[in-house]
Chain A
């Protein structure tokens, strides 16, 4: 198990290096001189930046400087905000995004497993049809539409009750987080529900569930000990990519609900072409996602004995 974890971590490091390199060369390819951008580049920042990145030096040297800075954990200074380090920006805004993301992932995973198992157990009966209708809705409606519509509904609800049932936008308390997390997690939940349903159907038709029935076990025990545990495995394998989808999907939700998260900051940086912030955030997100996938892999190892024993 330990060698497995170490191997995965080493692979993860190489992946992060690949992400950083791809980011560097993609951004270097940007047409025109980023420093000639007329947007809010003060002379002071410009001097700082040139000194720091050796922009007059050849590409290879710049790349080495960039990697060196990265290894020291230095993601650079914002192009548009004087003396603001990218690290500071991440430190300030990422916890908000992470809280929202964790809530959404929990919501998506719990809902996906529950609804997926239910639809499989009630296959081709009323609960299956009803849940699958909402699942298809969740898969087909873009998150920004969902966010906008839910906001609209909330405005209506708040007006109808004359009190603020849930705040429409902003950040701070749990009540601020509920709706955005719901909207953010819904698409993934729909996807996980489908996955869980088909996985559960396969388990229900499997030989070992037939064995469990032949042993005369009560349905509840068959469900909890034999069906659920096996059906959940494929859901866990896609949890890593799902976290990625939810984190980046957070951009839109943060934008619509006016949440001061890193995603919203990233979108703003993109719109203002704040190169260091774009690069820093991309590498940070990339590393975070690689790490999450490793965590999920290890988690999977603990649940599936076949992986654990290897």
Chain B
């Protein structure tokens, strides 16, 4: 991977939480990267660590009980973990904007929408109250809120959910960030509103050229929005690559399982939905091997014994398409036909972990 051109590079990010029951290892060594203007979707089921990953980038993990134990995250090549400013600019709100899952509770109920949008402008750009207010109205117009000037003087409880999410977006992009992180931005909204918000995000990306990190568990949203995908399971990225690679040339049994569990409205496909049996591992005491092994139809003994994190390999030499799975190991004899393999002999599999070990 040529990291030099990447806008944001995350390597081996590990986050833990202290709880009554013990230490939860919510994120266990996550790697991914985003380049400028690109949309990266992070997908995975609830509790797999998607939100914790991006919140730790933003410094939103409450410490205690949370802590980032390992890893790095570089924006423009500079470390941002544990820092609030790089290049003399605030990271949060200025270089990275963020919107959240539930717009109903994510806005201050006692402050007008306009004031809330104007806030980052006043703080980061030093705009006067009046200029910031004017800019806030312009941002509301940009996010296609009708009667923006009137709406800016209203309070969150006077807005509908979709309108609130638009206002949230206006707030997040106020300082023209390089990256917009959208943490399940449409989960709490009606289906019709979802499409509008996604369209809006795409349009804004086209206008401003910002990168988007989209967190979702909806594969339909991924297919519609993303350039590249990172699939997370039990605190790890199990597969990543371009949308086409991951969706049509899936290289990890979990991705395959997700696809089989997804409904389709194509009448040609008459297949029943196939749920993934079982439940994710307990992150209080994660298994030594692959977290998916107990549910994996192709599991081998090694999967339960050894961590597979060094097995991140570029599948078939396609740049950026990688999968954490023992099945890709050169010595693995059982390579199921449903999974995408370059070459049954294992040649052409570039094992990234080998460099680190040598």
Task: Tell me, yes or no, whether A and B come into direct contact in the complex with CB atoms closer than 8 A.
Answer: yes
List chain A positions with a Cβ less than 8 A from chain B.
Answer: 205-208, 210-218, 221, 225-226, 229-230, 233, 303-306, 309
Q: List 8 A-B contacts (CB under 8 A).
A: A208-B106, A214-B172, A216-B92, A217-B123, A226-B111, A229-B110, A305-B110, A306-B109
**A216-B124 contact given A211-B168, A305-B157, CB 8 Å threshold:** yes
**A217-B93 contact given A211-B168, A305-B110, CB 8 Å threshold:** yes
Q: B58 at interface (Cβ–Cβ under 8 A)?
A: yes
- Contact string against A for B residues 88-104, beta-carbon threshold 8 Å, 1 for contact and 0 otherwise: 00111110011010100
Q: Assess the A230–B171 pair: CB atoms within 8 A.
A: no
Q: B108 at interface (Cβ–Cβ under 8 A)?
A: yes
**Chain A residues with Cβ under 8 A from B98's Cβ?**
214
Q: B155 at interface (Cβ–Cβ under 8 A)?
A: yes
B288 to chain A, nearest CB (A): 34
> How far, in whole Å, are A216 and B60 apart by their CA atoms in the complex?
10
Q: Assess the B106–A215 pair: CB atoms within 8 A.
A: no
Q: B84 at interface (Cβ–Cβ under 8 A)?
A: yes
**Chain A residues with Cβ under 8 A from B119's Cβ?**
212, 215, 217, 221, 225
A206 to chain B, nearest CB (A): 7
> How far, in whole Å, are A217 and B168 apart by their CA atoms in the complex?
15
> How far, in whole Å, are A55 and B134 apart by their CA atoms in the complex?
73
Q: Assess the B58–A214 pair: CB atoms within 8 A.
A: yes
Q: Assess the B92–A305 pair: CB atoms within 8 A.
A: no
Q: Which residue of A lies closest to B157 (CB)?
A: A306
**Chain B residues with Cβ under 8 A from A304's Cβ?**
110
> How far, in whole Å, are A230 and B62 apart by their CA atoms in the complex?
20
Q: Assess the A213–B92 pair: CB atoms within 8 A.
A: yes
B8 to chain A, nearest CB (A): 16
Q: B158 at interface (Cβ–Cβ under 8 A)?
A: yes
Instruction: Report whether over half of chain B's contact residues are helix, strand or loop; otherwise say mixed.
Output: loop
**A306-B155 contact given A215-B92, A216-B84, A225-B111, CB 8 Å threshold:** yes
**Chain A residues with Cβ under 8 A from B44's Cβ?**
none
**A216-B94 contact given A211-B106, A309-B158, CB 8 Å threshold:** yes
Q: Assess the B90–A216 pair: CB atoms within 8 A.
A: yes
> How far, in whole Å, are A205 and B66 apart by their CA atoms in the complex?
14
Q: Assess the A217–B102 pair: CB atoms within 8 A.
A: no
> How far, in whole Å, are A76 and B106 apart by their CA atoms in the complex?
58
Q: Assess the A208–B105 pair: CB atoms within 8 A.
A: yes
A294 to chain B, nearest CB (A): 22
> How far, in whole Å, are A221 and B93 apart by their CA atoms in the complex?
14
**Chain A residues with Cβ under 8 A from B109's Cβ?**
208, 230, 305-306
Q: Assess the A216–B123 pair: CB atoms within 8 A.
A: yes
**Chain B residues with Cβ under 8 A from A305's Cβ?**
109-110, 155, 157
Q: B161 at interface (Cβ–Cβ under 8 A)?
A: no
**Chain A residues with Cβ under 8 A from B120's Cβ?**
215-217
Q: Which residue of A lies closest to B117 (CB)?
A: A215
**A214-B92 contact given A207-B105, A207-B106, A226-B111, CB 8 Å threshold:** yes
> How far, in whole Å, are A208 and B107 apart by their CA atoms in the complex?
5
Q: Which residue of A lies closest to B168 (CB)?
A: A211
> How far, in whole Å, are A230 and B157 apart by their CA atoms in the complex?
14
> How far, in whole Å, are A211 and B97 apart by their CA atoms in the complex?
10
> How far, in whole Å, are A211 and B84 apart by their CA atoms in the complex?
15
Q: Which residue of A lies closest to B123 (CB)?
A: A217
> How far, in whole Å, are A207 and B111 apart by their CA atoms in the complex?
14
**Chain A residues with Cβ under 8 A from B171's Cβ?**
211, 215
- Contact string against A for B residues 126-142, beta-carbon threshold 8 Å, 1 for contact and 0 otherwise: 00000000000000000
**Chain B residues with Cβ under 8 A from A213's Cβ?**
58-60, 92
Q: Assess the A210–B106 pair: CB atoms within 8 A.
A: yes
> How far, in whole Å, are A290 and B97 apart by their CA atoms in the complex?
49
> How far, in whole Å, are A207 and B91 apart by their CA atoms in the complex?
19
> How far, in whole Å, are A217 and B175 apart by their CA atoms in the complex?
13
> How far, in whole Å, are A211 and B92 apart by their CA atoms in the complex?
10
**Chain B residues with Cβ under 8 A from A226's Cβ?**
108, 111
Interface residues of B in 134-157 (CB under 8 A from A): 155, 157
In the A-B complex, the 10 residue pairs with the smallest Cβ-Cβ separation, listed nearest first, are A216-B93, A216-B92, A215-B93, A207-B105, A216-B90, A214-B98, A207-B106, A208-B108, A305-B155, A215-B120
> How far, in whole Å, are A212 and B115 apart by their CA atoms in the complex?
12
Q: Which of A207, A218, A230, A306 contacts B123 (CB 8 A)?
A: A218
**Chain B residues with Cβ under 8 A from A205's Cβ?**
62
B184 to chain A, nearest CB (A): 12
**A230-B92 contact given A215-B119, A216-B123, A305-B157, CB 8 Å threshold:** no
Q: Assess the A207–B92 pair: CB atoms within 8 A.
A: no
B336 to chain A, nearest CB (A): 42
Interface residues of B in 253-272 (CB under 8 A from A): none
Q: Which residue of B lies closest to A308 (CB)?
A: B155
Q: Assess the A210–B155 pair: CB atoms within 8 A.
A: no
Please name 13 further chain A to chain B contacts, defined as beta carbons within 8 Å, in addition to the given A217-B123, A225-B111, sorted by A numbering. Answer: A206-B105, A208-B106, A210-B106, A211-B106, A212-B108, A213-B58, A214-B58, A214-B92, A216-B91, A216-B120, A226-B111, A230-B109, A305-B109
**Chain A residues with Cβ under 8 A from B90's Cβ?**
216
B178 to chain A, nearest CB (A): 14
Q: Which of B119, B155, B172 has the most CB of A within 10 A?
A: B119
**Chain A residues with Cβ under 8 A from B158's Cβ?**
309
- Contact string against A for B residues 19-59, beta-carbon threshold 8 Å, 1 for contact and 0 otherwise: 00000000000000000000000000000000000000011
> How far, in whole Å, are A210 and B59 apart by their CA atoms in the complex?
10
Q: Assess the B107–A211 pair: CB atoms within 8 A.
A: yes
**Chain B residues with Cβ under 8 A from A207's Cβ?**
100, 102, 105-106
**Chain B residues with Cβ under 8 A from A208's Cβ?**
105-109
> How far, in whole Å, are A283 and B119 apart by their CA atoms in the complex?
50
Q: Which residue of B lies closest to A123 (CB)?
A: B64
Q: Assess the A214–B105 pair: CB atoms within 8 A.
A: no
> How far, in whole Å, are A205 and B65 apart by their CA atoms in the complex?
12
**Chain B residues with Cβ under 8 A from A221's Cβ?**
119, 123
**Chain A residues with Cβ under 8 A from B102's Cβ?**
207
Q: Which of A206, A213, A221, A225 has the most CB of B within 10 A?
A: A213
> How far, in whole Å, are A225 and B119 apart by their CA atoms in the complex?
10
A261 to chain B, nearest CB (A): 37
